[in-house]
Amino acid sequence: MLIWKAKINGTYTNMKTPSTYKIDYEDLDKDSYRSVVSGNLIDNVISKKWSKIAMSYNYLTASEVNTIINAINQNPVIIQATNPLYSTTNTPSKEMEMRCSKVSIEMNENKAYTMSFNLVQKKKVSGQ
């Protein structure tokens, strides 16, 4: 199953399917506060549905780790990723500009690698 592609040197490259794939959404607001009288949230939402995508892999070769690292070391990381919030039946993925905010790599006793990383959305996309 193809979950994501990364644009490398102007061309999209199919990336290995992660073992886990998680999307968090967050609204951005300005000067929001909770009323000390009523407890109601007084909010000024600037935009909605900003994405953070977390991916993890259980068994990677050194070559696969390098391929992923080369893709996510760009800023911005331009990806097409399965994203149910922005997708439709005809277009299951959405192009997004992201930034890699965290990477973790471990080698197990069999010399296979585990890897996890987060991609944080940088710019609005249609539907936001």
Residue numbers of the domain that contains 35: 4-121
Residue 126, in any domain of the structure: no
Residue 128, in any domain of the structure: no
Residue 127, in any domain of the structure: no
The reported pTM is 0.80
Residue 64, in any domain of the structure: yes
Neighbours of 121 (CB within 10 A): 21
- Cα(99)–Cα(53) distance, integer angstroms: 10
Which of 37-51, 63-77, 110-124 shows the lowest mean pLDDT across its residues?
Answer: 37-51
Instruction: For 29-47, write each residue's pLDDT tens digit.
Output: 788 888 889 988 888 777 7
Instruction: For 10-29, write each residue's pLDDT tens digit.
Output: 999 999 999 999 999 887 77
Domain count, the chain: 1
Cite the beta strand spans of 43-92 per DSSP E.
45-60, 77-82
At 46, list the tokens: 């600037």
**DSSP 8-state code for residue 69:** H
Q: Is 72 helix (H, G, I), strand (E, B) or coil?
A: helix
**CATH number of the domain to which 106 belongs:** 2.40.30
Residue 39, in any domain of the structure: yes
